Amino acid sequence: MRTKVLSSEALDYFARINASAQENDAQLKPICKENFSNAVSLGLYSSGIKSLTSHFSALAWGKHLESLGYHSMDCGLPLLISLRAGLANTIIGAKNPHINLAYAAYLEQGECLPAFAYTDGADPFSFNTVAEKTEQGYLINGVKSYVTGGMTADIFVVYARKKHSKNSDLAVFIIDRNNPGLHVQSTDVAGLRTAGIATLVLKNCLVTKEKILQENDGLSHVQQFLNERRLFLVSPLLGRMLGIFEATLQELDSRIRYGAPVSAMQYVQAQVGKMYQLHASSRAVLYDALQRQDSTEFDPYWDPIASSAKAFVVDSALQLVGIAQRLFGGDGYLRSKNIERYQRDFAGYIPGGGAQDTLQVDLGIHALNQHQLLNAFKDRNTKSIFTDPITLI
Ligand X SMILES: Cc1cc2nc3c(=O)[nH]c(=O)nc-3n(C[C@H](O)[C@H](O)[C@H](O)COP(=O)(O)OP(=O)(O)OC[C@H]3O[C@@H](n4cnc5c(N)ncnc54)[C@H](O)[C@@H]3O)c2cc1C
- Please report, as ranges, the residues that interact with ligand X according to CB under 6 A: 116-119, 146-148, 192, 197, 348, 351-352, 354-355, 357-358, 361
Q: By CB neighbour count within 10 A (0-12 exposed, 13-18 middle, 19+ buried), where does 390 fall?
A: exposed
Please report, in angstroms and rounded to a whole number, the separation of the first and last CA atoms in the chain: 33
If the CB atoms of residues 148 and 325 are measured against ligand X, the closer one turns out to be 148
Tell me if 100 sits within 8 A of 216, measured CB to CB.
no
If the CB atoms of residues 45 and 118 are measured against ligand X, the closer one turns out to be 118
Smallest gap, in angstroms, from Cβ of residue 29 to ligand X? 16
Smallest gap, in angstroms, from Cβ of residue 158 to ligand X? 9
Smallest gap, in angstroms, from Cβ of residue 146 to ligand X? 3
If the CB atoms of residues 146 and 328 are measured against ligand X, the closer one turns out to be 146
What residue type is assigned to position 234 of the chain? V
Smallest gap, in angstroms, from Cβ of residue 306 to ligand X? 16
Smallest gap, in angstroms, from Cβ of residue 220 to ligand X? 16
If the CB atoms of residues 121 and 300 are measured against ligand X, the closer one turns out to be 121
Smallest gap, in angstroms, from Cβ of residue 296 to ligand X? 28
Radius of gyration of the chain (CA): 22
Kindly list the distances between the CA atom of residue 112 and the CA atoms of 102, 103, 152, 155, in Å, as whole numbers in the listed order: 10, 7, 10, 7
Measured from each CB, the residue nearest to ligand X is 348
If the CB atoms of residues 156 and 245 are measured against ligand X, the closer one turns out to be 156
Q: Any idea how long the chain is?
A: 393
If the CB atoms of residues 110 and 352 are measured against ligand X, the closer one turns out to be 352
Smallest gap, in angstroms, from Cβ of residue 356 to ligand X? 7
Kindly list the distances between the CA atom of residue 78 and the CA atoms of 123, 194, 237, in Å, as whole numbers in the listed order: 28, 11, 9
If the CB atoms of residues 256 and 355 are measured against ligand X, the closer one turns out to be 355
Smallest gap, in angstroms, from Cβ of residue 361 to ligand X? 4
Tell me if 18 sits within 8 A of 74, measured CB to CB.
yes
Buried b (16+ CB within 10 A) or exposed e, 120-138: beeeeeebebbbeeeeebb
If the CB atoms of residues 119 and 370 are measured against ligand X, the closer one turns out to be 119
Smallest gap, in angstroms, from Cβ of residue 32 to ligand X? 18
Smallest gap, in angstroms, from Cβ of residue 229 to ligand X? 10
CA dihedral in degrees (105, 109, 113, 118; nearest 10)?
Answer: 70
Q: Which residues have C-beta within 8 Å of that of residue 15, sequence separation ≥ 6? A: none
If the CB atoms of residues 17 and 147 are measured against ligand X, the closer one turns out to be 147
What residue type is assigned to position 233 of the chain? L
Q: Which of 127, 130, 177 is nearest to 152 (CA)?
A: 177
Backbone angles phi, psi at 115, to 5 degrees: -135, 160
If the CB atoms of residues 268 and 314 are measured against ligand X, the closer one turns out to be 314
Q: By CB neighbour count within 10 A (0-12 exposed, 13-18 middle, 19+ buried), where does 42 fall?
A: middle
Query: Sign of torsion, CA 205 214 362 147?
Result: negative
